[in-house]
């Protein structure tokens, strides 16, 4: 089964409004100039919550999806200052959400309890989730990388009650030591982990062969082609390189070319 790749730009807490507008315009133009690219590769942007709806509006008519960077562990509406629930995202026709990014796990107390609530809230209202996993440098050096990542996959599995919901899941493997550091996992190491993740998923769901597993961590135009060659790498979650439309477009092209569907 061929998986159509995904290249998702995670803007994190960037950029200012004017730059965001210019970045989206430039990217839309690049994508529209090549009819085929969106057929070969799913493209998405995850702006800040502040810019999510204006970016979505600007993307209307293009094939580029909008993604929320997070969702509340609280569902519905109510007195929860600063929170945005899955229901509110769905109400604004946002279809995708990142859950469990390592920055949220490390800096914003996203532990398993919170993540379970977030996953369930998102799936309950029909959102698609991009669930992030990854080990620290220390864990890798201790030979624990696979164990840690597979435990994070088990945490995801425990949160999913309905097997059909696996069709709404994308997994992103992002070794923490490769995020924003300029160090990428070698294509070989990334492929080894992606295969382990797929094998782990296969023990949980029959949909494992259809789940896109993206690599993230210093993906750039010049390393994307090599990563895209790996059979179990179905796309990329791109941080800093997604803040440059040309560079981001080159990453999209690399995956579109390598994974002809």
| Active centre residues (catalytic) | 101, 174
Tally: H helices and E strands in the chain: 11, 8
Rank residues 193 and 205 by Cβ distance to ligand PGA and give the closer one: 193
Q: H-type helices in the chain, by residue range?
A: 17-32, 37-40, 52-59, 86-91, 102-107, 112-124, 137-141, 145-159, 187-202, 221-228, 245-258
* Contact yes or no for 72/108 (Cβ under 8 A): no
How many CB atoms within 10 Å of residue 61? 8
State the nearest-atom distance from the C-beta of 213 to ligand PGA, in Å. 14
What single string gives the DSSP state of each residue in 121-138? Answer: HHHHTT-EEEEEE---HH
Rank residues 47 and 217 by Cβ distance to ligand PGA and give the closer one: 217
State the nearest-atom distance from the C-beta of 242 to ligand PGA, in Å. 7
State the nearest-atom distance from the C-beta of 85 to ligand PGA, in Å. 23
State the nearest-atom distance from the C-beta of 221 to ligand PGA, in Å. 12
For CA atoms 153, 44, 51, 122, give the dihedral sign: negative
Rank residues 122 and 172 by Cβ distance to ligand PGA and give the closer one: 172
Cβ-closest position to ligand PGA: 239
Rank residues 48 and 124 by Cβ distance to ligand PGA and give the closer one: 48
State the nearest-atom distance from the C-beta of 134 to ligand PGA, in Å. 9
Give the binding site for ligand PGA (CB under 6 A). 10, 174, 179-180, 216-219, 237-241
User: Which of these, 49, 239, 70, 137, lies nearest to 251 by C-alpha position?
Assistant: 239
Measured between alpha carbons, how far apart are the two ends of the chain, in Å? 10
Rank residues 133 and 150 by Cβ distance to ligand PGA and give the closer one: 133
* Contact yes or no for 175/218 (Cβ under 8 A): no
Tokens, residue 153: 């996959």
Reduced to 3 states, what is the DSSP secondary structure of residue 235? strand
């Amino acid at each position: 089964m061929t998986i159509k790749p995904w290249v998702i730009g995670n803007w994190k807490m960037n950029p200012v409004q004017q730059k965001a507008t210019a970045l989206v315009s430039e990217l839309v133009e690049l994508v529209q100039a090549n009819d085929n690219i969106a057929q070969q590769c799913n493209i998405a942007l995850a702006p800040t919550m502040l810019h999510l709806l204006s970016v979505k509006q600007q993307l209307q008519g293009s094939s580029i999806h909008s993604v929320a960077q997070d969702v509340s562990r609280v569902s519905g509406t109510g007195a929860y200052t600063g929170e945005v629930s899955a229901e509110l995202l769905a109400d604004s026709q946002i279809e995708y959400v990142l859950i469990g990014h390592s920055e949220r796990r490390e800096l914003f107390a996203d532990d398993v309890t919170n993540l379970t609530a977030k996953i369930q809230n998102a799936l309950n209202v029909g959102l698609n989730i991009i669930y992030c996993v990854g080990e620290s440098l220390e864990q890798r050096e201790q030979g624990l990388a696979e164990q840690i990542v597979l435990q994070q996959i088990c945490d995801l599995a425990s949160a999913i009650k309905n097997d059909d919901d696996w069709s709404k899941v994308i997994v992103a493997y992002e070794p923490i030591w490769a995020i924003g550091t300029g160090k990428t996992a070698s294509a070989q190491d990334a492929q080894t982990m992606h295969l382990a993740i797929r094998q782990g998923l296969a023990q949980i769901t029959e949909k494992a062969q259809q789940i896109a597993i993206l690599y993230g961590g210093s993906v750039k135009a010049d390393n994307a082609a090599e990563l895209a060659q790996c059979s179990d790498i179905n796309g990329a979650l791109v941080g800093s390189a997604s803040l440059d439309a040309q560079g981001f477009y080159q990453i999209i092209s690399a995956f579109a070319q390598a994974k002809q569907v």
